[in-house]
Amino acid sequence: AQSVTQPDIHITVSEGASLELRCNYSYGATPYLFWYVQSPGQGLQLLLKYFSGDTLVQGIKGFEAEFKRSQSSFNLRKPSVHWSDAAEYFCAVGMDSSYKLIFGSGTRLLVRP
Amino acid sequence: DVKVTQSSRYLVKRTGEKVFLECVQDMDHENMFWYRQDPGLGLRLIYFSYDVKMKEKGDIPEGYSVSREKKERFSLILESASTNQTSMYLCASRGGGPWEQYFGPGTRLTVT
């Protein structure tokens, strides 16, 4: 069965430090991959997406993600974290023609001043 | 900008009550979705709709029903609310890209 794993429940980084959030998926075909961010009390906002082509994709707010087929991964990165990046981050996989998304369990990012 | 709105941000209901959660999108999207979000479990799909009056069960449909009488509106119904339905409920609509979903702000439902 298709699944998405975010192995880190919480991550704490210092402001200005680099960030990498991990995402692994299990899916038989070429996946459609997404990262969403949820600020406290808010809905989800799309950060970036991968459908095909260049495996390094750029998103909003200075985030990027790299698709690695050999590792079934789609890790999210940011070179310098800002305090406003504190939020929960969800990785998701799009599957089949129903347009459903499967979400990971989320990673909560805390930013130290 | 795509806008997805949900009728309430916070809702408190009693066990056994019938509860309606409303979602409206303004972009003429065909697909709409209802999820519930619980700590450590991420988002789980309850129901989705791919057209007016068309619906399909998601992964956790038990205890819920839905209604889509107009394209822009998708309602989630808890026929008889129970305490284990206390959760954050998120509505989304699909547009822009094949799987790209736009989310509403969520409704935090507490059943006492």
pLDDT at A29: 76
The DSSP letter of residue B9 is S
Q: Over 70: is that where the pLDDT of A97 sits?
A: no
Tens of pLDDT, residue by residue over A5-61, are: 999 999 999 999 999 999 999 877 778 899 999 998 888 999 999 988 889 999 999
> A5, A45, A6, A21: which is closest to A111 by C-alpha?
A21
pLDDT at residue B98 in the model: 67
Residue pair A82/A17 in contact by the 8 Å Cβ criterion? no
Q: Does any CB of chain B come closer than 8 Å to the CB of residue A100?
A: yes
Q: Which residues of chain B register pLDDT less than 50?
A: none
pLDDT (tens digit, 9 = 90+) per residue, A62-91? Answer: 999 999 999 999 999 999 999 999 999 999
Alpha carbons B16 and B32: distance in angstroms, whole number: 27
Those residues whose C-beta lies under 8 Å from the C-beta of residue A53, and which sit 6 or more positions away, are none
Q: How does residue A98 score in pLDDT terms, banded at 50, 70 and 90?
A: low
| Subunit contact B31:A44, Cβ cutoff 8 A | no
Please state the three-class secondary structure of A26-94 as a single string. Answer: ECCCCCEEEEEEECCCCCEEEEEEECCCCCEEECHHHCEEEEEHHHCEEEEEECCCCHHHCEEEEEEEE
pLDDT recorded at residue B43? 92
**How crowded is residue A109: how many other Cβ atoms within 10 Å of its Cβ?**
21
Optimal mutation site among B43, B56, B88, B107, interface A, most CBs of chain A within 10 A: B43
Helix (H, G, I), strand (E, B) or coil at B96: coil
Q: Is the pLDDT of residue A96 over 70?
A: no
Could A51 and B98 be called an inter-chain contact, meaning their C-beta atoms sit closer than 8 Å?
Answer: yes
Predicted local confidence at residue A40, as pLDDT: 86
Cβ–Cβ of A90/B41 closer than 8 Å? Answer: no
Cβ within 8 Å of residue B11, ≥6 positions away: B19, B21, B107, B108, B109, B110
Rounded Cα distance between B29 and B95, Å, is 6
pLDDT for residue A99: 75
**What pLDDT, on a 0 to 100 scale, did the predictor assign at position B96?**
55
- Chain A residues with beta carbon closer than 8 angstroms to that of B45: 100-101
Task: Choose among A17, A12, A46, A32: nearest CA to A74.
Answer: A32
Pairing of strands A10-14, A107-112: parallel
